Amino acid sequence: MDMLINQAGAFTSTIVIGMSAGLLYDYYRAVRAAYKLRKIGTFIGDVVYWLVTTAMVFGMLLWGTWGELRLYVFIGIGLGALLYFHLFSRAAYRVFRLKFYIIHRTWALLLWTVHWLWMVVTYPVRLLLFSLSYPYRLLGSIVNKTGGGFKTAWYRLVGRRVERGLGGLRRRLSRLVFWRKKKDD
């Protein structure tokens, strides 16, 4: 009698293993549908699914049947998968799809909220920059209309001094960089 109870428990565990494999497959189907995986994504997903399912089935077989592989193990796994797909698959797939829909909508809401907060926080800065840049753009359009005379006068007043200062600064900085070769000027 004790041996019959052990065998019934082992057979029941193989049915549970088959149902678990079916549940994993429905989860993978929901992932594929939610993320619209293309050819390479489906290939990678298939490989990952089979690796995870194989490891799960192996671990559960060690736990439930003490690693024994007999005909009833394959019959139990097949029967468990068949029972799962006929009784629970549609409901589980809908729950998984709902989960990914909620995740997608939550992520979209979070991004929208962050974007809105960013716009609210940066609006005063953008308004200040616009109000300060407007006179500058107006002055620039006046300068462009007057021609290149203003640019030439500006270069003669300020530009030469700035170029000399930058040239000296470059030479001093290049001396600090010891791994560069000195170029002949």
Domain boundaries, the chain: 2-102, 115-176
Q: Cα separation of 3 and 45, whole Å?
A: 41
Question: pLDDT at position 143, please?
Answer: 65
Q: Cα separation of 7 and 13, whole Å?
A: 10
Collapsing DSSP to helix, strand or coil, 148 comes out as: coil
List the structure tokens of 118: 């960013």
Question: pLDDT at position 173, please?
Answer: 66
At position 158, the amino acid (one-letter code) is V
Q: Cα separation of 17 and 78, whole Å?
A: 9
Question: pLDDT at position 77, please?
Answer: 86
- This model's pTM is above 0.95: no
Could you tell me how many helices (H) and strands (E) the chain has, helices first? 6, 0
Q: Which of 101, 87, 82, 72 minimizes the C-alpha distance to 13?
A: 72
Q: Cα separation of 63 and 9, whole Å?
A: 11
pLDDT along the chain (185 residues), means of 10: 77 89 91 86 88 87 78 88 91 92 93 92 84 75 66 70 74 61 54
